[in-house]
């Protein structure tokens, strides 16, 4: 087998995403054949080199691709020092090495992927690939159709430009409005911040689609494996 970059090996083994693996290398907690390696360009031979992270041996694993309907109240991390509920609690214990592809904030729900494939995660989350995601938001107050162009034009918040690629008003009354949005960037709490700038508070947020994959009838809190066809379709759209 040919050699591969150390951060790719760690990502493929399910240690962390490739970017997170690079941080581990820089921190000096990764060893190859007993020697600490901090150079990001370093390569390893997966068949013959012994790689460890913080003293624990790292071995290649079968790649897994899971779709989860995340409930509110769970956070998108594998381990939480505050012992809050994490999405890995919803999966079989032997899959504790999986990491989320991107994030949904604690109060949000809906479709999220988990994997141990760092390349897959990178292609679905890096801004240069522009994978679109769809959401349904319930917000306080009445939104008028005439206001929606503000979302697609973009607004400034804390030095960032936030915008939706598409937006559609589904329903509205004097107390609440239901809106469907499509985003390409996925910045931190972007939808909640978008509405906040325009004077509305999001009371419920659900992600319904990532690329060509829809949430469908997957029950809240349940998971399923992505099919090989779905995986190919996601990567071909990235």
Identify whether residues 90 and 40 lie together within a single domain. no
**CB–CB of 154/163 below 8 Å?**
yes
| Active site amino acids | 105
Claim to verify: residue 165 and residue 53 sit in the same structural domain: no
Task: Tally Cβ neighbours within 10 Å of residue 13.
Answer: 21
Q: pLDDT tens track of the chain, all 238 residues?
A: 578 999 989 987 878 888 899 999 999 999 999 999 999 989 999 888 999 999 999 987 788 999 999 999 999 987 777 778 999 999 998 888 789 999 999 999 999 999 988 889 888 988 778 899 999 999 999 998 888 989 999 989 888 899 999 999 999 999 999 999 999 987 889 999 999 998 999 999 999 999 999 999 999 999 999 999 999 999 987 6
Q: How far is CA 205 from CA 26, 51, 92, 146, 176, in A?
A: 36, 41, 26, 22, 13
Query: How many domains would you assign to the chain?
Result: 3
Q: Whole domain around residue 196: which residue ranges? A: 133-210
Torsion of CA 217, 71, 187, 40, to 10 degrees: -100
Contacts of 56 (CB under 8 A, 6+ apart): none
CATH number at residue 187: 3.30.2350.10
| Most distant pair of Cα atoms in the chain: their distance | 66
Please tell me whether residues 87 and 70 are part of one structural domain: yes
Report yes or no: 116 and 94 within 8 Å, Cβ to Cβ. Answer: no
Q: Are residues 138 and 187 in the same domain?
A: yes
| Residue 108 and residue 225 in one domain | yes
Q: How many CA atoms lie within 13 A of 156 on its CB side?
A: 1
User: Do 70 and 110 sit in the same domain of this protein?
Assistant: yes
User: Is 184:165 a contact under the CB 8 Å cutoff?
Assistant: yes
41 and 105 inside one domain: no
């Amino acid at each position: 087998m040919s050699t591969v970059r150390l951060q790719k090996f760690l990502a493929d083994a399910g240690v962390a995403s490739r970017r997170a693996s690079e941080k581990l290398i820089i921190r000096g907690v990764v060893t190859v054949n007993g020697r600490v390696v901090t150079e990001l360009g370093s390569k390893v031979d997966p068949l013959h080199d012994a790689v460890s992270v913080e003293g624990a041996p790292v071995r290649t694993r079968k790649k897994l691709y899971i779709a989860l309907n995340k409930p509110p109240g769970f956070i998108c991390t594998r381990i939480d020092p505050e012992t809050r509920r994490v999405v890995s609690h919803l999966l079989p214990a032997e899959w504790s090495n999986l990491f989320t592809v991107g994030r949904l904030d604690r109060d949000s729900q809906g479709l999220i992927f988990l994997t141990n494939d760092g390349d897959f995660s990178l292609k679905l989350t890096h801004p240069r690939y522009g994978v679109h995601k769809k959401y349904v938001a319930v917000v306080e107050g009445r939104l008028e159709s005439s206001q929606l162009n503000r979302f697609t034009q973009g607004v400034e918040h804390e030095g960032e430009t936030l915008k939706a690629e598409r937006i559609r008003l589904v329903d509205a009354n004097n107390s609440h409005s239901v809106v469907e949005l499509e985003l390409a960037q996925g910045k931190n709490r972007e939808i909640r911040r978008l509405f906040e700038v325009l004077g509305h508070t999001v009371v419920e947020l659900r992600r319904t689609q990532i690329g060509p994959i829809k949430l469908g009838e997957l029950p809240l809190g349940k998971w399923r494996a992505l099919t090989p066809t779905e995986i190919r379709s996601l990567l071909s759209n990235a």
